[in-house]
């Protein structure tokens, strides 16, 4: 494990696209600590398949068309200011990725091959095969490794944070590969950036990685930040449905973009009953249609079928999806594969302004844990990697300005001691996940919402009595419960 200093100018909680891109845009004079809960490659960014949307050197496209598609997907509830920033600054950040060596696919003419996804009226999705996120993360990690002012500390969990007169004290638990080596550290900083990603693990079934328990949202809430629209959750319509794995492998929207059909339990196409855009309707519309079709047919069996397209092209375009499905016994090029909606993305989060500032002085948030308002009620495919980049860069630029007025002193806050050795009772996290899955899925269970909320409140009180051992299980349960509470509270 890397050696930590007692203080840093900036602590960034999160080493996904948002956290790393912020680190890359901070001035080299600032000492920066970037935290990853597990290995840096375990995050939602690494899972992104489809790509990153943006208008860059595209004669038949323009930022107004991109903004309009985003508004249609978001039901016209998007924040106009942050949306304009998102679409108009996309080109510079995509170009920056290319300069960092990120290898987007090109066509035979040597131009970038842009793909189409649901809700986009133009082919504007830059991608690297079907592993765009992993390729972007590779590029960002390689670039960050060149920065002498940035330290990345893996297996380091931000457990609590307190405000001080000069910034924040941040408590860290390190060495989470095994309980015996767990150690506690406190670092002080002038600025704290939350870039902790999504909340998928609050659900039974999600496409999100294991780190997505909403820790940054919980800690920002404890610090007094406003949490907004946490109940705006996107359910992806086509997760691979093997009926038993909690982390569901996503079959990218781009597969429908390249011509795949959705079929019901009778192997019939059914989207024509629900939307004129058929399989290319935005993902909330498709998820909704699947649930309604499931109620109509009485079956939860749904299929994604691209077997009518050229097998070699499908394999070349979706090598990762093809390989993963082969491991599960399905040949995408020859047969339909079982799919069903599951939790995928959070539109709400820690409320920030257009420079990623929260209402707490010197606390910033960017990426999936932040609420910039760009997506409105529903995110348009491939806009989230873009949001992570644009607003983490703006956070870094704002900090660069603010930092010039800050003195060298670092105050320290004392954390209340937790001495308990008893682990948190077994089953709390399972119950929390079940409550959300059953009551706040694609079509909310309005009748049971209050009972669900009251049970989550009881679980929060049980966790909050602080009589439990301070380990990852305890911290994640606390984060999951806080997120579940805030989601359900918005629905009452
Ligand atoms: C399967 C899948 C496919 C997707 N496909 C696309 C796509 O094609 N296009 C698109 O635009 N978006 C896509 N998305 C969404 C997009 O990937 C994410 O919204 C985006 O990558 C989030 O980036 P982030 O940096 O905010 O979070 P992440 O990449 O999830 O990073 C979070 C970081 O925070 C750290 N962390 C969390 N808690 C703590 C803690 N307590 N202490 C220390 N560190 C902590 C983690 O270790 C991690 O390093 C997809 C998402 C998934 C799950």
Please indicate, yes or no, whether residues 140 and 165 belong to a single structural domain of this protein: yes
Same domain membership, residue 226 and residue 240: no
Residue 475 lies in a domain: yes
Query: Residue 413 Cα, ligand 1 centroid: separation in angstroms?
Result: 30
- Are residue 335 and residue 217 in the same domain, yes or no? no
pLDDT on residue 283: 84
Rounded to 5°, angle at Cα 389 from 223 and 153: 60
Position 110 in a domain? yes
Residues 6+ apart with CB under 8 A from 69: 119, 120, 121, 380
Closest CA to 430 of 473, 471, 469: 473
Ligand 1 atom nearest to 156, measured from its CA: 43
Question: What domain count does the chain have?
Answer: 3
Query: Nearest residue CA, atom 8 of ligand 1?
Result: 50
Tokens of 347: 């539109």
**Please, what sign has the CA dihedral across residues 347, 349, 351, 357?**
negative
* 31 alpha carbon – ligand 1 mean position (Å): 24
Out of 322, 343, 364, a domain closes at 343
Q: How far apart are CA 198 and CA 270, in angstroms?
A: 31
Q: List CB contacts of 36: < 8 A, sequence separation 6 or more.
A: 14, 15, 42, 43, 152, 153, 154, 155, 156
Give pLDDT tens digits along the chain (492 positions). Answer: 899 999 999 999 999 999 999 999 999 999 999 999 999 999 999 999 889 999 999 999 999 999 999 999 999 999 999 999 999 999 999 999 999 999 999 999 999 999 988 889 999 999 999 899 999 999 999 999 999 999 999 999 999 999 999 999 999 999 866 555 679 999 999 999 999 999 999 999 999 999 999 999 999 999 999 999 999 999 999 999 987 788 889 998 889 988 999 999 999 999 999 999 999 888 889 999 999 999 999 999 999 999 999 999 999 989 999 999 999 999 999 999 999 999 999 999 999 999 999 999 999 999 999 999 999 999 998 999 999 999 999 999 999 999 998 999 999 999 998 889 999 999 999 999 999 999 999 999 999 999 999 999 999 999 988 789 989 999 999 999 999 999 999 999
Q: Whose CA is nearest to atom 3 of ligand 1?
A: 48
Residue 245 belongs to some domain of the structure: yes
| Strand stretches in 419-466, DSSP E | none
- Which entry of 283, 317, 394, 433 is annotated as an active-site residue? 283
β-pair type (183-194, 7-13): parallel
Ligand 1 pocket, residues with Cβ under 6 angstroms: 13-19, 35-38, 43-45, 47-52, 132-133, 157-158, 195-197, 207-208, 211, 215-216, 250, 345, 367-368, 382-385, 388
In terms of residue numbers, what domain contains 276?
Answer: 236-343
Catalytic residue list contains 283: yes
3-state helix, strand, coil in the chain (%, to 5): 40, 20, 45
The residues, ordered by sequence, that sit 6+ positions from 171 with a Cβ below 8 Å of its Cβ are 158, 159, 160, 161, 184, 185, 186, 415
How many Å lie between the centroid of ligand 1 and the Cα of residue 211? 9
Instruction: Determine if the pTM surpasses 0.85.
Output: yes
117 assigned to some structural domain? yes
423 belongs to a structural domain: no
Pocket test for ligand 1, best of 36, 45, 172, 341 (most atoms within 8 A of CB): 45
Residue 174 and residue 262 in one domain: no
Distance from Cα 234 to the centre of ligand 1, integer Å: 14
């Amino acid at each position: 494990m890397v050696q930590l200093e007692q203080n840093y100018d900036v602590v960034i909680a999160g080493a996904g696209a948002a956290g790393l891109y912020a680190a890359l845009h901070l001035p080299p004079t600032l000492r920066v600590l970037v935290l990853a809960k597990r290995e840096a490659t375990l995050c939602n960014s690494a899972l992104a398949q489809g790509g990153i949307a943006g208008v860059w050197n595209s004669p038949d496209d323009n930022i107004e068309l991109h903004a309009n598609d985003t508004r249609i997907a978001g039901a016209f509830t998007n924040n106009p200011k942050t949306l304009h920033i998102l679409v108009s600054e996309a080109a510079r950040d995509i170009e920056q990725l290319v300069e960092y060596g990120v290898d987007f696919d090109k066509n035979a003419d040597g131009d970038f091959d842009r793909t189409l996804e649901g809700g986009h009226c133009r082919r504007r999705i830059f991608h690297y095969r079907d592993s765009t996120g992993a390729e972007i993360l590779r590029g960002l990690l390689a670039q960050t490794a060149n920065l002498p002012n940035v330290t990345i500390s893996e297996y380091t969990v931000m457990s609590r944070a307190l405000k001080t007169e000069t910034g924040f004290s941040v408590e860290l638990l390190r060495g989470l590969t095994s309980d015996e080596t767990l150690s506690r550290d406190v670092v002080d900083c002038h600025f704290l950036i939350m870039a902790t990603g999504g909340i998928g693990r609050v659900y039974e079934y999600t496409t999100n990685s294991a780190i997505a328990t909403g820790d940054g949202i919980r800690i920002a809430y404890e610090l007094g930040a406003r949490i907004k629209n946490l109940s705006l959750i996107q359910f992806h319509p086509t997760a691979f449905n093997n009926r038993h794995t909690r982390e569901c492998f996503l079959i990218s929207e781009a597969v429908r973009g390249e011509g795949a059909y959705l079929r019901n339990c009778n192997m019939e196409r059914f989207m024509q009953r629900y939307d004129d855009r058929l399989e290319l309707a935005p993902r909330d519309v498709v998820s909704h249609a699947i649930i309604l079709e499931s109620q109509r047919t009485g079956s939860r069996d749904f299929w994604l079928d691209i077997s009518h397209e050229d097998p070699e092209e499908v394999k070349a375009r979706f090598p990762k999806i093809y390989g993963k499905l082969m491991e599960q016994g399905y040949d995408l090029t020859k047969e339909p594969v079982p799919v069903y909606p599951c939790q995928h993305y959070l539109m709400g989060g820690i409320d920030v302004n257009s420079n990623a500032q929260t209402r707490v002085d010197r606390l910033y948030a960017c990426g999936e844990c932040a609420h910039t308002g760009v997506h409105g009620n529903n995110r348009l495919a491939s806009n989230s990697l873009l949001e992570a980049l644009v607003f983490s860069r703006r956070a870094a630029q704002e900090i660069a300005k603010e930092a010039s007025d800050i003195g060298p002193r670092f105050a320290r806050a004392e954390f209340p001691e937790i001495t308990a050795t008893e682990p948190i009772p077994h089953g709390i996290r399972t119950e929390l996940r079940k409550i959300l899955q059953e009551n706040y899925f694609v079509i909310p269970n309005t009748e049971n919402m209050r009972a669900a909320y009251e049970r989550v409140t009881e679980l929060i009180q049980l966790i909050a009595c602080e009589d439990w051992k301070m380990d990852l299980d305890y911290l994640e349960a606390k984060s999951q419960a806080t997120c579940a509470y805030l989601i359900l509270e918005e629905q009452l």
